[in-house]
Amino acid sequence: MVSSDSAISDGGEVVTPAEFRAAMADFASGVTVVTGLDAGDPVGFACQAFASVSLEPPLVVFCADHRSRSWPRIRRSGRFCVNVLGEHQTSLCERFGSSQGRKFDGAEWSLTRWGTPALPDVLMRVHADVNQVHPAGDHDLVVGRVLAVERIAEHRPMIFFRGGFGLGTAATATRRSGPPRQGVLSTRPTTSEA
């Protein structure tokens, strides 16, 4: 019997979580910060597992780790904003990808008309209501019904690849000495913070 922490490859071998994480690091992805407001407090986490799902109706999806402290608060509020980061926003990504400290302390942000925190100078924002939540292993798959999109700035996108930002040698140059317990800076197949 295979535990829920393992998967079977085509050859019948067990794929460990570490092997799966390392393999998924070869999939380059964009980086976002998902934000929400809970009891008047801004909350958010870095997330690379984000995609569009449907055009009619407009739906998006992101994955949130069950260990996350921010996701339950965003879920409770029922509304979120996905801030798509540019390559120049590494420090913002690290801030929201960390499980340490209050992420909005000293950070620049504004409250949108949809009642969610917006980060400045991002490529795009997607404003959505939580539509469906599906448990999927150690994460929740969150489907959001899109309320509005805002195209903010023309920048090159932040790309996360093989444990670093950028492609090729750029990823090697921007690797961290050690990833946080959770977050976009780890090589997890889906990401969120604690």
* Overall pTM > 0.85: no
Is residue 76 over pLDDT 90? Answer: yes
**pLDDT reported for residue 11:** 61
Give alpha helix (H) positions in the chain. Answer: 17-24, 70-77, 90-97, 169-173
Under 8 Å CB-to-CB from 192, ≥6 apart: which residues? 34, 45, 46, 47, 49, 63, 64, 65, 68, 70, 71, 139, 182, 183
Tell me what the mean pLDDT of segment 113-119 comes to.
96
pLDDT at 102 over 50: yes
3-state helix, strand and coil shares in percent for the chain, rounded to the nearest 5: 15, 40, 45
Q: Give residue 102's identity as a one-letter amino acid code.
A: R
